[in-house]
Amino acid sequence: MTVGVFAPAQSGFAQQTPLISGGAGFLTYTSGGNTTYYPILEPLLAAPLGKKILVESRADLLESFSPKGAGQSGYDHSHFVGLTFLQGDYDVSPHLTIVGGEYLLPFNTYNERLTPIWIGNFQDAPLIFSLGLLSSSSGLGGMVRGNAIERNKYSISYNYFYSTRSATEQFTSHRGNGGRVSLYLPEQRLEAGFSFDRLLQGTHENFFGAHVWWEPKDTAFRLRSEFGHGQHAEGYWVEADYRTLAFGGLDSIIGRIEPVLRIQQTFRLDTIASDGLPLTNTERADFGFDYNLPHNTRIITSYARQFSSTGNQNVWETGIVYHFLFPAWKGKE
Amino acid sequence: MMTSKHWLIVLLVLASVSVLAFAAQKGNAPATAPTTKTLAAAKHPLEQQDEGQRVFQQHCSRCHASPEGFSPRISGTILRHMRVRASLSQHDEEALLHFFNP
């Protein structure tokens, strides 16, 4: 099982010391014969304030080295530093948490769950990633969320957000609102959900999304999929990954291999391209081959072939990512 | 717009993946190899461990691989973080706390 390599906390009593987690990686992206190199650091801080409040934040520190064009040799260099989110969570009850600050928009699943570099199976996001994310992928304002119903056979979770407009460099957001409802069936290990949001500035637009995730019991197989619909484009992606238990478990040399497949398509509904999706209908297949090394380190490689009327292209990606997780300072003895 | 041809492709992809999943499910016996977790469980109430492991598989493994270990000083903080991210219920949170700190 996927918990095969899990080692719990050492014996001791659970504490709530602030923690630093995140990922550090070195990634490459090759297309059209040009390779770009990305050293990246994604630290996350989580700090409880008393029994009810948790402050958490994630940042991106990215360097980019890409070849100079126009026949020149050498590389151009640029960097990016930014906060991905900075939010406070207030536990009101077992079924309700109020979130305030800058938070990841909960449209579909990719933005909230799979964007950390130490989690995603592929380096790049799906083609429909920007649908429903109101141009910034984060909101500034408030959100309510939680587990509404928990039964043995099923559970239902929800969230609803309202975001205000902000042009501040580190807290860019658009006015909008929306939410997500998910149903989870634990016996079938099946999750299905529906998302919606509405942009409330400029030309008001609605976005809808749906997701299905499935992890069959007693396997290390995972299926994830999303569909997104906007005013001007729509699309979907389906991703599957698998690790075998047949050759000595997940800790074996073979068990650490993780083949990954992702199929995706986008469809442009009109010529207004305000949503970040390709300008023409596009199909893409990604074939990945990840390797889970010991010590929370992962090699991520993939090849993708993209088809569209503007031209087909190959994309090769490789990278190595390390996931770190440790206390921010000394706890109680 | 998605045409019938596109829907056919989607259905074929989903069908292929489902077949793969069922094959994987059939081919893999439940993991019974002793792990750090199961060894630890032998020393503690089995029900709590089993329940914690079930919750871990259902809620945590859905998104990410298991970390190889961490200090008990931060296990409570991890739960507070994941309570929000994964919409954990109070019961799930308690079960995971036992699982993290056997």
What digits encode the pLDDT tens for the residues B79-101? 999 999 998 888 888 899 888 88
pLDDT at A213: 97
CB-nearest to B80 from A3, A16, A296 is A16
| Distance from C-alpha of A7 to C-alpha of B41, rounded to nearest angstrom | 12
Residue A211: pLDDT over 90: yes
What pLDDT, on a 0 to 100 scale, did the predictor assign at position A299?
96
Q: List domains and CATH numbers for chain A.
A: 93-318 (2.40.160.10)
How far apart CA A294 and CA A300 sit, in angstroms, is: 14
Is pLDDT larger for residue A227 or for residue A168? A227
Dist. CA B4–CA B25, nearest whole Å = 31
**ipTM value:** 0.87
Residue A292 at interface with chain B, using a CB cutoff of 8 Å: yes
How far is the alpha carbon of A81 from chain B, nearest alpha carbon, in Å? 23
Q: Which of A59-73, A169-183, B22-36 has the lowest mean pLDDT?
A: B22-36
**Strand, coil or helix: B24:** helix
For residue B22 the two structure tokens come to: 């069922």
SS3 A122: coil
Nearest CB neighbour to B76, from listed A2, A16, A225: A16
Look at residue A322 in the predicted model and tell me its pLDDT: 97
Rounded to whole angstroms, what are the CA distances from A90 to A73, A139, A145? Answer: 53, 17, 10
Which residues from chain A sit within 8 angstroms of residue B80, using beta carbons? 16, 46, 48, 54, 89, 91
Percentage of chain A exceeding pLDDT 90:
79
Q: Do A9 and B101 touch (CB under 8 A)?
A: yes
Residue A7 pLDDT exceeds 70: no
Residue pLDDT, tens place only, A139-150? 999 999 999 998
- The yes-or-no verdict on residue A164 having pLDDT over 70 is yes
CA quadruple A3, B64, A249, B36: dihedral positive or negative? negative
DSSP state of A121: S
Smallest CA–CA distance, residue B47 to chain A, in Å, is 16
Predicted confidence at residue A298, as pLDDT, reads 96
- Does residue A303 belong to the interface with chain B, where contact is any CB pair within 8 Å? no
Say whether A14 and B97 touch across the interface (CB within 8 A): yes
C-alpha distance from A28 to closest chain B C-alpha (Å): 22
- Gyration radius (Cα) of chain A, Å: 21
Q: Average pLDDT, whole number, for chain A?
A: 91
Over the stretch A309-324, which tens digit does the pLDDT of each residue have? 888 999 999 999 999 9
Chain B residues lying within 8 Å of A215, measured CB to CB: 61-62
Residue B7: predicted pLDDT? 58
- Please state whether the predicted TM-score (pTM) of the whole model is above 0.95: no
Per-residue pLDDT, B18? 55
| CB pair distance less than 8 Å for B71 and A331 | yes
Question: Pick from B54, B100, B77: which is nearest to A217 by CA?
Answer: B54
Using the Cβ of A2 and the Cβ atoms of chain B, whether some distance falls under 8 Å is answered with yes
Model confidence pLDDT, tens digit, residues A193-203:
999 999 999 88
Q: CB distance from A5 to chain B under 8 Å?
A: yes
**Predicted pLDDT of residue A80:** 93
Residue to mutate among B39, B80, B97, with most A CBs inside 10 A, is B80
Q: Is A237 on the interface with B (CB under 8 A)?
A: no
Q: pLDDT for A253-286, tens place per residue?
A: 999 999 999 999 999 999 887 788 999 999 999 9
Nearest chain B residue to A48 by CA: give it.
Answer: B77
B-interface mutation test, from A11, A13, A19, A214, most B Cβ less than 10 A away: A19
**How do residues A108-147 score in pLDDT, each as one tens digit?**
999 999 999 999 999 999 999 999 999 889 999 999 999 9
Q: Which pLDDT value is given to residue A9?
A: 54
- Mean pLDDT along residues A5-25: 75
What whole-number percentage of chain B has pLDDT above 90?
9
